[in-house]
Amino acid sequence: MNKQIKLAKRPVGMPDESTWTFETSAIPSPKEGEFLLKQEYISLDPAMRGWMNDAKSYIPPVQIGEVMRAGSIGTVIESKHPEFKVGDVLSGWGGVQQYLVSTGQGFFKVDANLAPMPVYIGTLGMPGMTAYFGILEVGKIKEGDVVLVSGAAGAVGSVVGQIAKIKGCTVIGIAGGPEKCKYVTETLGFDGAIDYKNGDMKKELRALCPKGIDVYFDNVGGEILDLALTRIRRDARIVICGAISQYNNTTPIKGPSNYLSLLVNRGTMQGMVVMDYAPNFGKAAMDMGTWMAQGKLKSREDIYDGIENFRETFTRLFTGEKMGKLVLKVSE
């Protein structure tokens, strides 16, 4: 049987047990021009929370009754498609389910001998692509820049900071708790870390960035974005990648009150959506694969088991109970 997680209703605030339904159905069979994919791992990302809202966005919302959208990776186990054969490992948008039939649209082949499957939905997948293009194309970093990264121990932030270090920047990360701050500095090689859950953030930011910051890569929004704006330098670049602190709000989103700092410092604030850079994903993957082979770029996946545990695992995105890329193993 095929186990699936489907959207049952649009959540208000944090999704609860009633947000999704767990369903089983017969494993589908491919027709001519299709293949059957057995999914191995599902990517859990903060953006999934936004996809549940019936609101205008960069991608249509998940409809009620549809399989929950998610990035995934799996293996072809039956094929009637000329370009895909049994044993091919594919990554794409498979959703939260164990099996699916596809024509191949939205999927691409990966070499599971070069890196473990979860890496292809993490550092070599959408989170890694987001980090690569966000910091290089939108952040426009250059050697000597001071870069501040929020969500620094997460899937995107951890890669952002490492790329900035590779490019010769001073990098300060913001993370929650001493364990994550230690990981950011001692394992990932950031120059410093600020624990937003403990201590005086304003004081620590001033101490670690005495001359201000050139680039702020924002994954969290809210008060941390507002604080970062007080420390920007002339011609600073603010990259708006996400705002995880605001996704489950039941009140209006809190915007930055210190935005006039952009005017004074001639700064820019730009949003980015990774799909805009899809034509160049190949080059990014080659660069990051090379850095990984050289030991310059580290990848960490926090893997949990069982499609039945989807909701519990999903909430870890917002409680901070994870390190690196959050992945759910759905194969049995």
The 10s digit of each residue's pLDDT in 195-229 is: 999 989 999 999 999 999 999 999 999 999 999 99
Residue 10 has pLDDT above 90, yes or no: yes
Whether residue 250 has pLDDT greater than 90 = no
Task: Give the pLDDT confidence score for residue 36 in this predicted structure.
Answer: 98
Q: Residue 143: pLDDT band by 50, 70, 90 thresholds?
A: very high
SS (H, E, C) the chain: CEEEEEECCCCCCCCCCCCEEEEEECCCCCCCCCEEEEEEEEECCCHHHHHCCCCCCCCCCCCCCCECCCCEEEEEEEECCCCCCCCCEEEECCCCECEEEECCCCCEEECCCCCCHHHHHCCCCHHHHHHHHHHHHHCCCCCCCEEEEECCCEHHHHHHHHHHHHCCCEEEEEECCHHHHHHHHHHCCCCEEEECCCCCHHHHHHHHCCCCEEEEEECCCHHHHHHHHCCEEEEEEEEECCCCCCCCCCCCCCCCCCCHHHHHCCCEEEECCHHHHHHHHHHHHHHHHHHHHCCCCCCCEEEEECHHHHHHHHCHHHHCCCCEEEEEECCC
- The confidence score (pLDDT) of residue 248 equals 92
Question: Residue 251 pLDDT > 90, yes or no?
Answer: no
Q: Is the pLDDT of residue 278 over 90?
A: yes
Q: According to the model, what pLDDT value does residue 52 have?
A: 97
Give all domains of the chain, ordered by start, each with its CATH number: 2-122+299-329 (3.90.180.10), 126-275 (3.40.50.720)
Is 95 in contact with 88 (CB distance < 8 Å)?
no
The average pLDDT across 277-300 equals 95
Q: What is d(CA 85, CA 34) in angstroms, rounded to the nearest whole number?
A: 10
Q: Average pLDDT for residues 87-92, to the nearest whole number?
A: 97
Per-residue confidence at 305, pLDDT binned at 50, 70, 90?
very high
What tokens were used for 205? Answer: 């930011």
Distance CA 134, CA 258 (A): 22
Q: Work out the number of other CB atoms within 10 angstroms of the CB of residue 23.
A: 15
pLDDT band at 48 (very low <50, low <70, confident <90, very high): very high
pLDDT above 90: residue 255:
no
Low-confidence winner among 7-11, 56-60, 71-75 (lowest mean pLDDT): 56-60
The count of other CB atoms within 10 Å of the CB of residue 242 is 26
Determine the average pLDDT of the residues in 8-35: 96
Q: How far is CA 171 from each of CA 147, 168, 216, 328, rounded to the nearest angstrom?
A: 5, 9, 10, 30
318 pLDDT band (50/70/90 cuts)? Answer: very high
- pLDDT value of residue 236: 98
Mean pLDDT over the full length of the chain: 96
Task: Provide the residue type at 3 as one letter.
Answer: K
Cα 78 to Cα 99: distance, rounded to the nearest angstrom: 11
Confidence band for 65, pLDDT divided at 50, 70 and 90:
very high
The model's confidence at residue 310, banded by pLDDT at 50, 70 and 90, is very high
pLDDT digit string, tens, across residues 258-270 = 999 999 999 999 9
Whether residue 254 has pLDDT greater than 90:
no
Rounded to whole angstroms, the Cα distance separating 30 from 292 reads 37
What is residue 60's predicted lDDT score, i.e. its pLDDT?
Answer: 94
Residue 199, pLDDT score = 82
